[in-house]
Amino acid sequence: MKLRENVLISELTTMRLGGSARFVAEVSSLADVKEAYEFAKDAKMPVYILGDGANTIGRDEGFDGLIILNRMKGMEVVEETSDDVLVRAMGGENWDGFVEFCCERGYSGVECLSAIPGTVGAAPVQNIGAYGQDISQTVDNVEAYDTRENEMVILGRDEMKMAYRSTIFNDGPDAGRYFITAVTLRLENDEKLEPPFYNSLQKYLDEHQISDYSPLNLREAVSAIRAAKLPDPAEEASAGSFFKNIHLSDEEALTAREEGLKIYDKPDGSHVLNAGWLIEAAGLKGKELPGGFHISDKAALILINDSAKSYKDLEKARAEIVRTVFDKFGFRLEQEPVELVAKERRA
Ligand SMILES: Cc1cc2nc3c(=O)[nH]c(=O)nc-3n(C[C@H](O)[C@H](O)[C@H](O)COP(=O)(O)OP(=O)(O)OC[C@H]3O[C@@H](n4cnc5c(N)ncnc54)[C@H](O)[C@@H]3O)c2cc1C
């Protein structure tokens, strides 16, 4: 385990905000993970698990505890039949590298999740999703260190209670309890997704006359669409989609439609009001905001940090967006990225 003291959280997160963490441990083995938790227990410090910080916002007060950075590496095909395949990656692997590993072998099920920043271990935490896919559709199990019972566990898909941006890992009494060491996906072997695809993906495929929907072709299409409209975390500071989409009941969706709002009906029958659409319709796309932020002119859900150094600046920008959307449409937007605060109090 590699231990550092007084590390700026702004350097560990893609929104580039946040004061000092008292300790940061990089772990690359299960022994390291256990050692890190022992260290925190002895020092009576809270722990926060971090991957690449692409969905995490640091606060000005920093973190008076131990941040554990997952750096566990390795990817493998566990089992393959003519129908499906189990693929496993360690939690510290780069998520997009894992998607590439799967697509290159012709395995289908995560191609639309290409180019999402972050680690494999974080991917199930908020049930990452894009272009009609989310990881709940393909995750078979996760291996995790249960920090309450001090033992390794394997959690199956049903135990994770995966919903839109919500799972047992980030919501409810078990949030922060499990350190995910590995993720296993069950993917289709030799199967291709079938159209129609998510609107912007379908448009791209049509424009580029792509009719072979191989995992690799779809991966390339998704990556190209994303590269054209989403900021590269290495160049522009953001945490991806800053607000969650809003899920409506049948009745709410009917009323919203009558009021001219654009609602997307999902194949499972639920209704979604796109937060990016609301922000754009409120006239905020591409706008400068107080505090040193602006909303991307390519994707209205992306809040970009141009010069802010303080969480207080973020509060100003966020308040402006939430107020403007609420005044115009009566919907209160909810932040998607999590904030780096102690999730679980340790004895
Ligand atoms: C430009 C950009 C585009 C994005 N696009 C998308 C998108 O299309 N779809 C989408 O869903 N998200 C998107 N995101 C958000 C982000 O990429 C995902 O949430 C990703 O899974 C975060 O990975 P990370 O390693 O950076 O997580 P972190 O931010 O480090 O952690 C996120 C959460 O997971 C927990 N966690 C991390 N690792 C573990 C672990 N090993 N065990 C247990 N808990 C853990 C943390 O405690 C924290 O609560 C985007 C972000 C950016 C910056």
Topology of domain 246-329, per CATH? 3.90.78
Q: Which residue shows structure tokens 């999902």?
A: 266
Angle, in degrees to the nearest 10, between helices 199-207 and 215-229: 110
Asked about 10 being catalytic, the answer comes back as: no
H runs (alpha helix) in the chain: 30-42, 95-104, 199-207, 215-229, 250-258, 275-281, 311-329
* Nearest CA among 172, 148, 144 for reference residue 41: 148
Of 255, 260, 299, 265, which Cα lies nearest the Cα of 279? 299
Amino acid in position 320: E
Cα separation of 216 and 111, whole Å? 7
User: How many residues in the chain?
Assistant: 347
CB distance 91 to ligand 1 below 6 Å: yes
Which of 191, 236, 320, 336 is labelled catalytic? 336
d(CA 13, CA 237): 9
Whether 241 is catalytic: yes
What tens-digit pLDDT sequence spans the chain (347 residues)?
999 999 999 999 999 999 999 999 999 999 999 999 999 999 999 999 999 999 999 999 999 999 999 999 999 999 999 899 999 999 999 999 999 999 999 999 999 999 999 999 999 999 999 999 999 999 999 999 999 999 999 999 999 999 999 999 999 999 999 999 999 999 999 889 999 899 899 999 999 999 999 999 999 999 999 999 999 999 999 999 999 999 999 999 999 999 999 898 887 888 999 999 999 999 999 999 999 999 999 999 999 999 999 999 999 999 999 999 999 999 999 999 999 998 654 43
* Listed residue (193, 245, 203, 194) closest to 224, CA to CA: 203
Residue 165 catalytic?
Answer: yes
CA 79 – CA 240 distance, rounded (Å): 34
Q: In 3-state terms, what secondary structure has residue 151? A: strand
CA distances to 198, 213, 245, 289, 342 from 267, in Å: 11, 20, 16, 36, 37
Please give the distance of CA 114 from its chain centroid, rounded to a whole number: 12
70 close to ligand 1 (CB < 6 Angstrom): yes
Q: Return the closest-CA partner of residue 201 out of 230, 183, 226.
A: 226
Cα–Cα distance, 304 to 236 (Å, whole number): 7
Angle between helices 215-229 and 95-104 (to 10 degrees): 150
Which ligand 1 atom is nearest residue 14's CA?
Answer: 53
Are 328 and 282 spatial neighbours (Cβ–Cβ below 8 Å)? yes
Is residue 337 in contact with ligand 1, taking CB distance under 6 Å? no
Provide CB contacts within 8 A for 344, sequence distance 6+. 46, 47, 147, 175, 176, 177
Bridge partners (DSSP) listed for residue 246: 273
- Enumerate the domain spans of the chain: 2-70, 75-229, 246-329
d(CA 219, CA 52): 21
What is the residue with the minimal CA distance to atom 14 of ligand 1? 240
Cα four-point dihedral sign 119, 167, 133, 330? negative
Predicted local confidence at residue 267, as pLDDT: 79
Q: Give me the sheet containing 20-27, strands edge to edge.
A: 2-8, 20-27, 63-70, 47-50
On whether the 75-229 domain is CATH 3.30.565.10, my answer is no
pLDDT at res. 347 = 33
Q: Does domain 2-70 have CATH number 3.30.43.10?
A: yes
Distance (angstroms) between ligand 1 centre and the Cα of 140 equals: 19
Amino acid 221: pLDDT: 98
Instruction: Tell me, in angstroms, the distance from the centre of ligand 1 to residue 188's CA.
Output: 24
